[in-house]
Amino acid sequence: MDEQTLVILAIQLTALTGIVGSLLLYLLCKVRTKSHTYDTEFTSLNVGTGRSVLLTSCDTGFGLQLALHLSGLGFRVFAGFKPSVEDGEGETCGDSDAAKILRAHLKQRESEFSVDGVVKGVTYGTMITLPLDVTREDSLHEAVNIVRRHLPAGEDGLWAVMNTAGVCYKGRLEQQDSCQWDAMLKVNVVGTLRTARAFLTLLRNKQGRLINIGTG
């Protein structure tokens, strides 16, 4: 192969490499732009707008995080907390660490609200706290009444009820007390059935769903 042919091949190879490199760079830019557009659309999309959900317990870290996440997506969130009784004032939301954190979060959010209801570029859904004990019929009945009172005019249903209330005692079988088994059955099984029955009408009105979340 003579010198002239080698020069021509080198030029062709250089040109081909440049074309391939430019094509790869173009495709990479397109992928990054598309990914950025998708992320922006997803984070700005208020998928929960006009939808109401109930969380039966936000006393745990999981329930609290779920409530805040759903509110951030635009859902109207009814956050249940273990009831506590105050002198002469009936039952109120409990005084757990999660309840304190949520109250502080809501107070901070209210102070940051602008006229259009947007906080730092995010439109939040309404958050309503309520005392709720899934093992008691009277508590469930009162929770249903609270939900009905706080639903928008003309709306009488829930998009979802999420059973986040749960009890789990760990340990060897021979080291567990039977009262622990009773407590787990009372909350995790019977409490779930009581909740489903209490909110069934509100779920049916919106063709909603009942979501059971297990612990372990």
* CA distance readout (Å), 183 to 15, 24, 208: 75, 61, 29
Tens of pLDDT, residues 66-81: 998 898 888 999 999 9
Low-confidence ranges of the chain (pLDDT < 70): 1-4, 6-10, 12-13, 15-16, 18, 20-21, 26, 30-46, 85-95, 110-124, 215-216
pLDDT of residue 16: 67
For domain 41-212, which CATH number applies: 3.30.390.10, 3.40.50.720, 3.40.50.1980, 3.20.20.140? 3.40.50.720
How far apart CA 55 and CA 34 sit, in angstroms, is 35
Residues in the chain: 216
Q: What is the CA radius of gyration of the chain?
A: 27
The three-point CA angle 71-77-79 to 5° equals 115
Write down the domain spans for the chain: 1-37, 41-212
pLDDT of residue 87: 43
pLDDT of residue 1: 59
pLDDT of residue 40: 44
Task: Name, in order, each residue with C-beta under 8 angstroms of 151's C-beta and a sequence gap of 6 or more.
Answer: 52, 76, 157
